[in-house]
Chains A and B, each alone.
Chain A
Amino acid sequence: MSGAALPSLQPVQDVSGHARLADKILLIACGALAREILDLKEANGWAHLDLQCLPANLHLWPDRITEAVAAAVQQYRADYAQIFVVYADCGTGGQLASKCAELGVGMVEGPHCYSFFEGNQTFAARAEDEFTAFYLTDFLVRQFDAFVWKPMGLDRHPELRDMIFGNYEKLVYQAQTEDAALDAKARECAARLGLAYERRFTGYGDLRGALAALAPPHHIP
């Protein structure tokens, strides 16, 4: 897994002293959201948010997500005032939500990041007409080879492309940021998959609201 490809995270161990951590909220997030979270954090001055990421490729094995998140919550919960899980359902079939409820931690609403980036309501409203779309986010455009092309075996077996993507019609690049290079790369990804191309600017969608709602924990006076 390309943990190394992720933007530098803040290891919890480096933050000095329990007193300071107790003021903070820890985000336990999918590695595919690291850059976006750090960007939001910086832009909004959310110094009370710390970040720990789990490998983004867990999304290929959704049956492992719940357990991995639960283990991370257990590992860090004593150190933080609050923990928030930056995952949507992500194919856990409601299991992650039940686990988070059981552990008393919040999580992002929605089925997956393609939905919350677009805004869960907008995505749901559009779903009926757009079920033959394959979505890429900024992360997936950057990591297309590592997270789509190779796991689907297309580097070794290009003949599988039409078995895998044959029912798809277009690639929708949900752009979180304005970036011409990513736009060009996403267009190229669409061509490689044999799909029509559409770019749609989404920004951070519901992710922004979910993180903005995490008010800094207060000291007991």
Chain B
Amino acid sequence: MADDDEIILSELPDDELVLQMHDDLYDGLKEEIEEGTRILLDRGWTPYDVLTKALVSGMKIVGDDFRDGILFVPEVLLSANAMKSGMTILKPLLAETGAPRMGKMVIGTVKGDIHDIGKNLVAMMMEGAGFEVVDLGINNSVEKYLEALDSETPDILGMSALLTTTMPYMKVVIDTLKEKGMREDYIVLVGGAPLNEEFGKAIGADAYCRDAAVAVETAKQLVARRHNQPGA
């Protein structure tokens, strides 16, 4: 967006500043996002409000425009970087201020696959929604997933795959969980461009999520449902 008429962030009223931050996030302007984050905190906003109203809702616009083919990979990366820099400021404060805790997720890209842009975005948006996220990175074998499930005891296991050759590995992981009688202990979410709903069902995941926004909504719903179940 136009930055020729120098906009002084600190002079904007809250509502305009938030909209400006959405624009800056869209344009991947890291420093502006850091500045806006600090200004809102100084004005007495709770870290949780800054996160959800300024950052997460801005990133949602980026996600929607990627889905609709308006933005492509580099723009998403730049926006994600900008959001991350805001989150770095907010993260320590969120814990202190008793922001809502939604649950915990372990997420990783499956074995043989080193695509991680989408997985990172999901991890970030889940954090933004109040989930604690443990990111196992790329190329994860069944053993690595199991180890993390064991040590982290998350509510949710998330797996990402972008290759037709690696997506079947998700079933290997789920089948192993079944064999060990652990499948019902976790909500399993899967995603990645070549996947679809049918595939998610066929391999026995709880849900396939088309994008990060859907992942967040689905995770919230399934966690809530689990907590409402008697004996859960």
Contact = CB atoms under 8 A, between A and B. Distances in A.
Kindly name the residue among A94, A128, A151, A168 whose own CB sees the greatest number of chain B CB atoms within 10 A: A94
Interface string A150-193: 01111011001001100110000000000000000000000000
B194 A93 contact: yes
Contacts, number: 66
Nearest to A64: B69
B73 A91 contact: no
A119 interface: no
9 contacts: A89-B164, A92-B194, A93-B195, A112-B164, A131-B112, A152-B74, A157-B78, A163-B117, A167-B138
Nearest to A88: B164
B164 A153 contact: no
B188 interface: no
B75 A153 contact: yes
Contacts of B195: 93
A94 B196 CA distance: 10
Interface string B65-83: 0000100111101100100
A160 B74 contact: yes
A156 B77 CA distance: 13
A69 B187 CA distance: 36
A167 B114 contact: yes
B193 A91 contact: yes
A60 B69 CA distance: 10
Interface string B186-207: 0000000111100100000000
A61 B69 contact: yes
Contacts of A92: 164, 194
Given A91-B193, A160-B77, 7 more contacts: A92-B164, A93-B194, A153-B75, A157-B74, A160-B74, A160-B78, A163-B117
Contacts of A168: 114
For B163, B164, B167, B196, the residue with the greatest tally of chain A CB atoms inside 10 Å of its CB is B164
B103 to A, nearest CB: 28
Contacts of A128: 112
Nearest to A112: B164
Given A167-B116, A168-B114, A94 B77 contact: no
A206 to B, nearest CB: 15
Contacts of A131: 112-114, 139
B164 A93 contact: yes
Given A131-B139, A167-B116, A167-B138, A152 B73 contact: yes
Contacts of A63: 193
A129 B106 CA distance: 26
A153 B114 contact: no
Interface of A: 60-63, 89, 91-95, 111-112, 115, 124, 127-128, 131-132, 151-154, 156-157, 160, 163-164, 167-168
Contacts of B88: none
Main SS of chain B's interface residues? loop
Contacts of B165: 111, 115, 124, 127
Contacts of B73: 151-153, 164
Contact of A153 (B69, B77, B167): B77
B28 to A, nearest CB: 8
A177 B165 CA distance: 26
Contacts of A163: 77, 81, 117
B162 interface: yes
Contacts of A132: 114
Contacts of A157: 74, 78
Contact of B164 (A61, A94, A152, A167): A94
Given A62-B193, A131-B114, A91 B164 contact: yes
Contacts of B163: 91, 111
Nearest to B210: A63
Given A62-B193, A93-B196, A127 B74 contact: no
Given A62-B193, A93-B194, A93-B199, A111 B164 contact: yes
Nearest to B120: A163
